[in-house]
Chain A
Amino acid sequence: MLLVAPAVLLLVLFTFAPAVYAFVLSVLKVQVTGGLLGTSTAQVFAGFENYVDTLADPEFWDSLGRMLIIAVIGVPATLFFATLFALCLDANRARLTGIWRLAIFLPYAVPGVIASLLWGFLYLPATSPIGGQFIDYFGNTGIFFAVANVATWGVIGFNMVVLFTAVRAIPKEIFDAAQIDGASELQIALRIKLPMIAPALSMVALFSVIGALQLFNEPTTLKPLTNAISSTWVPLMRVYSDAFVNNNIYGGAASAFTLLVMTVAATVLVNVIGNRISKRSAR
């Protein structure tokens, strides 16, 4: 089909070809020979050396752990609040919902880098209007919440709108029946609306998890403000610092591929769980 051609062509050129190239890089390394500063420098085959380096580096696993902590804080918070706001928007007699909807949606228009700069100002004692003088947002514990908060702040509105539209798509007959049975608004929300939007919820969850795995902009932008964030704080920062600071694209590519395999595994898992939940609730 001719109509798919541009998409496929561009995808091959700018996504799959680079991905394959990245894989090739991941099994190479640079070798210097002769002279103090090397009379010759060559790319040589490294086998899975770079992968072994990645997997054997405790810092890689630490960075993975930190990412998971942020995901464990951020993803449920995103889901919970997005669902809460969506249900409130749909609640009977909630006032001025148009305004609130827009307000909550607004952060989606603020790029992650700028959002992090902003929250940086809000966290630091010198400029904090939210108690940075008393709460150490960059402490060993605080930092996880600080980063998760910036990420959550940026996506809550978008997810809320997705869930809200899902709620609005539920046929009204269902509610009428429940109301005749004497169900309260809260009961309707929890027992009917929530299960009905399970497919949308599972998609939001999937994208939140993918988003968490690709966490990069927020900690990178917050890094100069604190000692708490190292250059390999989350896995993608490690990839970045290998590829763009340490002049080691090979190691960076290997870390990235290791991460990719894990991402695919996680996605399949979330998808399977999601489908199971939505199937169960559809019953």
Chain B
Amino acid sequence: MTRRTRSLLGAVAAVTVAAAALTGCSSGNNSTDSASSGGVVHLTFTNWDNGMQTLVNTWNKENPKIQVKLIKPSGTGYTLYNKLITDNSAGTNPDLTEVEYQALPMMVSNKVVVPIDKYVTNLSNFSKSTLSQVQFEGKTYGVPQNVCPLVFFYRKDLLAKDGITTPPATWDEFAKDAAIVHKANPKQYLMNFDASSPEWFAGLAQQAGANWWTTSGDTWSVNIDDAATQKVASYWQNLLDQGVIAPGPSWSTQWNTDMNSGNILGWVSGQWAPNQLPTIAPDTAGDWVAAPVPAWTAGDQTIGTWGGEVEAVTANSKHPAEAAKFANWMNNTKEGINLLIKNVQVFPAAQKYQSLPALQTPPPFMKNQPDYNTLMKQLASNVRGFDIWGPNANITFNSYSDAFGKAVQNHTSFVDALKTVQTDTVSDMKKTGYKVK
């Protein structure tokens, strides 16, 4: 027994030492350690996109004096943003972080990110509408990376079997097609209503002319349940009530299966969908075609967006100039954007670079559609967004998922759900101290 006890103690000691050793190795992740040594500046960069490491490697090779370390966060989206806010007060944030457009006002109001006007001068490469997403009260927070217009992806082969040869040009046609598809085969749906993706619904509302947040001076007005959004909500509720679209959330196991097996024939998604489709529906490569999202009135080309991100410098960074330089290289130079297109398959936000030769190659999943990026360019020029995203869009989004999830589950009114989202958003803004009209 004594021997056993001793070996037990020995094991404890060994593991503790191992833990200490490993901790030692890995403690260089936070910006607290990003001091310059020997004239070399060390930056940390949080980003969750696959393929980003290649860019970082190229930069590090070319810039021995500014070395970047890429960190993949444990949570993406709002989980990450919340963490950034918490870490901000502790001073442990990375130098540079990925932030989606809809969350940038929240990061600004929580003082997580800082203006970069001092360090970046060639912002004229971006369109006004793109810049409006990152400029507040005359200051620029971060370098925009990409534009993500909504796109309608559909299974050309399967729709053709039902006699549908052209994608629906209007939402009316979309509804008719949905009915045809479901009638021909009760297992099949043209699409699903995604109660778990608030940004998707926001994109549809943008297209319909909604403007959820507007400002005058320091005062906000919030109009999430405006007529345009109500129109969108009622439209989808009608399709759901008829049973011609599926009710489940996207990215669930079930949805992946249905996408792969051809039970779901379409997806109103973002420009980035071809990055995800290979794992969502691996057996269907080459079967999907991208088309503009159906319009509310024939001929109208306005569309909304879903996603898109900016690289922002944090308030914790001790080297904001170097961090901004790297962000600008990545998102606003030919070399950086070429690498982004090839490795992360983005459609660049910088207008100047929206016709790069690299864009003549479609994403691998869309090989059958060589002019994929030409379509993206056309769509990107018709993007219409809200004036600004609310400083608490996270509350709005969470409220959407809960309220619409419940409405789908219980077959209750979408318009009422919309009112809940509006109330939740406004009451939170007032509580936090924002002036709301």
Cβ of A31 and Cβ of B432 under 8 Å apart? yes
A29-B431, A246-B398 known; A140 and B137 CB under 8 Å? no
Q: A33-66: which have CB < 8 Å to B?
A: 33-38, 41
Q: Which of B78-86, B143-151, B316-324, B378-386 is the interface stretch?
A: B78-86
Cβ of B136 and Cβ of A227 under 8 Å apart? no
| Interface residues in chain A, defined as those with a beta carbon under 8 Å from any beta carbon in chain B | 29-38, 41, 120-121, 124-127, 140, 224-232, 241, 243-247, 249
Say how far A274's CB is from chain B's closest CB, in angstroms.
35
| Interface residues in chain B, defined as those with a beta carbon under 8 Å from any beta carbon in chain A | 75, 78-79, 81-83, 85-86, 105-106, 108-111, 136-137, 195-196, 215, 217-218, 220, 247-249, 251-254, 257-258, 261, 391-392, 394-395, 398, 401-402, 404-406, 408-410, 431-434
A121, B252: Cα distance in complex, Å: 10
Say how far A20's CB is from chain B's closest CB, in angstroms.
18
Q: Ordered nearest first, which 3 A-B pairs have the shortest CB separation?
A: A126-B257, A227-B405, A37-B109
Across the interface, which residues of B come within 8 angstroms of A30, CB to CB?
432-433
Say how far A149's CB is from chain B's closest CB, in angstroms.
17
Tell me what chain B mostly uses at the interface: helix, strand, loop, or mixed: helix
Across the interface, which residues of A come within 8 angstroms of B401, CB to CB?
230-231
A229, B409: Cα distance in complex, Å: 10
A228, B247: Cα distance in complex, Å: 11
Cβ of A124 and Cβ of B254 under 8 Å apart? yes
Central interface residue in B75, B392, B433, B434, by most chain A CB within 10 Å: B433
**Which residue from A33, A37, A244 sits with its C-beta under 8 Å from B137?**
A37
A127, B108: Cα distance in complex, Å: 44
Cβ of A37 and Cβ of B195 under 8 Å apart? no
A225, B254: Cα distance in complex, Å: 7
Cβ of B394 and Cβ of A37 under 8 Å apart? no
Cβ of A232 and Cβ of B431 under 8 Å apart? no
Cβ of B110 and Cβ of A41 under 8 Å apart? yes
Cβ of B433 and Cβ of A38 under 8 Å apart? yes
Cβ of B82 and Cβ of A126 under 8 Å apart? no
A229, B109: Cα distance in complex, Å: 31
Cβ of A126 and Cβ of B433 under 8 Å apart? no
Q: Which B residue sits closest to A44, measured CB to CB?
A: B433
Cβ of B215 and Cβ of A36 under 8 Å apart? yes
Say how far A227's CB is from chain B's closest CB, in angstroms.
4
Q: List 11 A-B contacts (CB under 8 A).
A: A30-B433, A36-B218, A124-B252, A127-B253, A226-B252, A227-B196, A227-B248, A229-B405, A230-B406, A231-B401, A247-B394
**Which residue from A121, A124, A244, A247 sits with its C-beta under 8 Å from B106?**
A247
Cβ of A226 and Cβ of B253 under 8 Å apart? no
Q: Which B residue sits closest to A222, measured CB to CB?
A: B252
Across the interface, which residues of B come within 8 angstroms of A29, CB to CB?
431
Q: Which B residue sits closest to A42, measured CB to CB?
A: B433
A60, B404: Cα distance in complex, Å: 18
A124-B252, A224-B252 known; A32 and B109 CB under 8 Å? yes
Q: Which B residue sits closest to A229, measured CB to CB?
A: B405
Cβ of A37 and Cβ of B136 under 8 Å apart? yes
A225-B253, A244-B79 known; A41 and B405 CB under 8 Å? no
A227, B195: Cα distance in complex, Å: 7
Cβ of B79 and Cβ of A245 under 8 Å apart? yes
A125-B254, A127-B257 known; A246 and B79 CB under 8 Å? no
Say how far A58's CB is from chain B's closest CB, in angstroms.
12
A124, B255: Cα distance in complex, Å: 10
Across the interface, which residues of A come within 8 angstroms of B391, CB to CB?
32, 37-38
Say how far B201's CB is from chain A's closest CB, in angstroms.
13
A127-B253, A226-B248 known; A35 and B79 CB under 8 Å? no
With A124-B252, A232-B402, A245-B394 known, 13 other A-B pairs at CB within 8 A are A32-B109, A38-B433, A41-B111, A124-B253, A224-B196, A224-B249, A226-B248, A226-B249, A227-B196, A230-B402, A231-B398, A245-B78, A247-B81
**Which residue from A32, A34, A232, A246 sits with its C-beta under 8 Å from B394?**
A246
Across the interface, which residues of B come within 8 angstroms of A41, CB to CB?
109-111
A34, B218: Cα distance in complex, Å: 8
**Which residue from B251, B253, B394, B408 sits with its C-beta under 8 Å from A126?**
B253
Say how far A142's CB is from chain B's closest CB, in angstroms.
11
Cβ of A38 and Cβ of B79 under 8 Å apart? no
A196, B81: Cα distance in complex, Å: 54
Across the interface, which residues of B come within 8 angstroms of A229, CB to CB?
405
Across the interface, which residues of B come within 8 angstroms of A246, CB to CB?
82, 394-395, 398
Say how far B408's CB is from chain A's closest CB, in angstroms.
5
Across the interface, which residues of B come within 8 angstroms of A244, CB to CB?
75, 79, 82-83
Q: Which B residue sits closest to A125, measured CB to CB?
A: B254
Say how far B215's CB is from chain A's closest CB, in angstroms.
6
Cβ of A227 and Cβ of B111 under 8 Å apart? no
A231, B395: Cα distance in complex, Å: 11
**Which residue from A38, A120, A127 sits with its C-beta under 8 Å from B434?**
A38
Across the interface, which residues of A come within 8 angstroms of B218, CB to CB?
34-36
Cβ of B251 and Cβ of A224 under 8 Å apart? yes
A189, B294: Cα distance in complex, Å: 69
Cβ of B432 and Cβ of A32 under 8 Å apart? yes
Say how far B133's CB is from chain A's closest CB, in angstroms.
14
Across the interface, which residues of A come within 8 angstroms of B82, CB to CB?
243-247
Say how far A117's CB is from chain B's closest CB, in angstroms.
9
Cβ of B215 and Cβ of A33 under 8 Å apart? no
Across the interface, which residues of B come within 8 angstroms of A127, CB to CB?
253, 257
Across the interface, which residues of A come within 8 angstroms of B253, CB to CB?
120-121, 124, 126-127, 225
Say how far B355's CB is from chain A's closest CB, in angstroms.
35
A224, B409: Cα distance in complex, Å: 14
Cβ of A38 and Cβ of B409 under 8 Å apart? no
Across the interface, which residues of A come within 8 angstroms of B395, CB to CB?
246
Q: Which B residue sits closest to A30, measured CB to CB?
A: B432
Across the interface, which residues of B come within 8 angstroms of A241, CB to CB?
398
A61, B252: Cα distance in complex, Å: 28
A34, B253: Cα distance in complex, Å: 46
Across the interface, which residues of A come within 8 angstroms of B258, CB to CB?
126
Across the interface, which residues of B come within 8 angstroms of A224, CB to CB?
196, 249, 251-252
Q: Which A residue sits closest to B252, measured CB to CB?
A: A225
